[in-house]
Structure formats: C-alpha cells, structure tokens
Structure 1
C-alpha cells in the first residue's frame, strides 16, 4: 500500500495505491474537482507531480490539406486587400491628376541621391497650391540659353526667390544648376516620393511582370483546389 499527499500545499490530501510497486512504464493521471476548480496530478514510477491535464491531451490532427487551404485563404485576403487599396489609390490619384492638383514623374538620374534615387516616382503639387521655399525639391523645365526646352529637372532650392529665380542644385551635384527657374518654369513642388516603383514601369519590366502575375495567379488557383 502506497500512501502519499497529492498536493504539496494540501498535506491532508492523500492518495492510496494498492500494490507493492508500479510497473516501470505505469502512468496514472488523477484529476480532482472542488468548487469549480480542477487540479490534476501525474503519477509515475518517478513520483507524483502536479500538472495541467490539458498538457497531456494531444490535439486532433488537422485533415490533410486544411493547413494549405488556410494559408491560401490568408494569402487571398492579403492580396484582395492590397488590390482594393491599390485600386482606390489609383482612382484617387487619377482624379487629382485629372484636375491638375498632382503630377507624377519617374526620376531618370541620380542627381538627387540619396534623398531621391533613379527609378523613384516623385509626386508634385502646383505652386498655386504649395508655394516653393528654400529646401523644397521642385520639378522645373530646364532650358538652353536660347530658350529651347531640354528636360525636366527635379532639384532642391538652396536660395533665391520666385521673382528673381531660385538657385537650385541636385543633392549629389557639386555645383548649382546654371538656370535659375522662375514661376513659369516650375512644374510643381515635390511632396511625396514613391521608392523604386518607376523601375517597374519600363516596357522591359512590364514585359516580365505580366507573365509573373499570371504565374502567381495559377499558383494561388492550384492552392485553392488542393483536396
């Protein structure tokens, strides 16, 4: 007869086991309920140990394919949310662009690195809505000395004023631009930069992206149909 307290904090709780000893692989789980509280002990040839009974209960295995289906559902939700967010953003941007409130341009050189890199997209606002100031980055129409248009530059204002012309300079350039853009030359003030996305809008990148998106769609469709 083996007599031993069940719980160390309650010496009066006793357990009796009939027999001289337990087999080497014998295990007993005892659960007691009192006033809505459940306490359990695990009895083995190593002694008595209080445990949480749920720790010894194995969860039922998931049916084959359930985990894959759940992953697909999560991926689908993320992609759906991303798609809706992108669609709404494009609609808002299209509306603002149509009204002339904002314009987007792809940066083709690294003259403004590291603040703005090649392939970034800058979003500008007309000077009628945002007055250019020193330290702002502006997009302006660069011209030759004979007045012929050359290209659109996006450089930072480091001095001057809108009446006499701003002194502008690329952050990565050693000297200011020879032209001092005035109000008629300024196409907008940069207020937002989208990194890298311009690299995906070239014909070569689009040629690679379209098949990639189609491939992703096929993979997701295959995951959805897993039995």
Structure 2
C-alpha cells in the first residue's frame, strides 16, 4: 500500500509504502526546508498534520526553519536590549552610590537644541571636576536673599571662580541674572540621554508599565513556540 504524505513545490512528493501489523502503531515524519517545517503522524489507517515538538525534541543539527529563525533572532535581540539596560542601570546605581555620578531630568528647552526638555543629563559632581568657560553645568539657582529655588543646566559663557560664573542657556537670548558661585555648581554635564526623561512622568509610567508587561508576554510566547 502506498500513500502520499507530502506533496508541495519546495519538497516535492513523498510517499510511504507498506503496512503495520499493529493497529496502534504510529510513525512521526518531519521535513524541514527554508520555507518552514511540516510534520505528520502516520497510522495504519490515517495520516494527519502534527507538531513534532509535541512528540520529540528536535536534534540541534536539524535545519532551523525560516520562521523559527526569525523568532529566535527577535528573542535574542530583546534579551540583549534587556541585559544592556540592566548593565547600564546597575552601573549607574553603583556610580551614584559612590558619589561619582548624578542624573537630572531637564524640564525646559532653555538649552535647546543642545539639550531638550525630557532629556536626562549625566553629571560629574563638582567636587571632582574643574569647570571652565563653554562647559555645561548644573547649578543651584537662588533668590536675592540666598534662598534656593531649583536647579538649572546652562552653559558657562564668562566669569571665573573668584567673581562668579556667568551662565546662559543656548536657547536663551540673555544670560542668567545670577552670578553663580563655585559652591553652587552641582556638577558638569558629561553625557546626555535624549527623551528618556519623558517616560519618567506618572502619566508615561502608567502607559509604559502595561506595555512592558505585554512585551514580556510576547517574548515568552515566542520562546514557547
């Protein structure tokens, strides 16, 4: 007895011949090609489509179908991004705890286009760095009575340590009113992370957390498939 088990353009026609003396016998036949993988279970009376992973574990040397290779690349990419972010965040936590680095979210566009609202600036603390003209620094802004009002990140355009620094935002027409003392300089900007600060607002986090959860489910499904 001869029966057709596969008949397609990419693999051609494949047939199975013979019969079995055992009514409950089963044979799993799997064929892989660049277009994908197909498996059938052959019984004495029937042939039906199946998934080979439900019956056996595929050997590593078998050709990986195209769709599974794509899923694998996607999973590896997301894993790499995840490990990279963990490494960056872990390094930042360690450096911050050691007092070697600080981070601030920029809230205005006064330094545009160099630094925009929503960017995160990475600071080298002022006690470990020399600041000079053209450096971008974060300083503590004060009222005339000396009361602190907030932090500002602007560029040094003049002045010195003795008389105080003159600072100005790249996007502002006029320099800042305050003459900034060296003790008010929080740190020097050494790196800018664009846009990330926009995701740190309560509204953005409310949207981002469900998105991360859904993304995790998708990655988990890809791994299972």
TM-score normalised by the chain length of structure 2: 0.71
Deviations 1:143-169 (A, max 9, x none): 000111111000000011112100000
Q: What is the alpha-carbon distance in structure 2 between the residues aligned to residue 80 and residue 222 of structure 1?
A: 14
Partner secondary structure for residue 167 of structure 1 = strand
**In 1: Cα distance, 2:127 partner to 2:164 partner:** 16
Query: 1:222 offset after TM fit, Å?
Result: 2.9
| Structure-to-structure mapping, 1:55-94, within 5 angstroms | 61-63=35-37, 66-94=65-93
Q: Is the 8 A contact 1:103 1:125 kept in 2?
A: yes
Q: Which residue of structure 1 aligns with residue 157 of structure 2?
A: 158
How far off is 1:68 after superposition? 2.9
Deviation at 1:130, TM superposition (A): 1.8
Please state whether the residue corresponding to 2:204 is helix, strand or coil: helix
Whole-angstrom CA distance in 1 between matches of 2:178 and 2:134: 17
Contact (CA 8 Å) 1:139, 1:189: kept in 2 or not? yes
Taking only aligned residues, the RMSD between alpha carbons, in angstroms, comes to: 1.6
Structure 1's 97 and 187: CA in aligned 2 closer, same or farther, altered over 3 A?
same
Matched residues in 2 for 1:109 and 1:61: separation?
Answer: 52
In our comparison, the structure showing a higher alpha carbon Rg is: 1
Is the CA contact (8 Å cut-off) linking 1:72 and 1:220 kept in structure 2? no
Question: Relative to structure 1, is the Cα distance of residues 70 and 60 closer, same or farther in structure 2, using a 3 angstrom cutoff?
Answer: closer
**Counterpart Cα distance in 2 of 1:157 and 1:224:** 52
1:170 aligns with 2:175: no
2-side partners of 1:62 and 1:101: how far apart? 52
- Which consecutive residues of structure 2, in runs of 5 or more, have no partner in the other structure? 1-32, 39-50, 52-64
Q: Distance in 1 between matches of 2:193 and 2:101?
A: 14
Q: Distance in 2 between matches of 1:62 and 1:213?
A: 30
Of 76-85 and 165-174, the range deviating more from structure 2: 76-85
TM-fit CA distance, 1:61: 4.1
| Aligned counterpart, 1:99 | 98
After TM superposition, which residue ranges in structure 1, 4 or more long, deviate above 6 angstroms? none
How far apart are residue 80 of structure 1 and its match? 1.3
**CA distance in structure 2 between the aligned counterparts of 1:169 and 1:177, rounded to whole angstroms:** 5
SS at match of 2:36: coil
Match of 2:186 in 1: 187
Q: Is residue 69–residue 224 contact of structure 1 (8 Å, CA) maintained in 2?
A: no
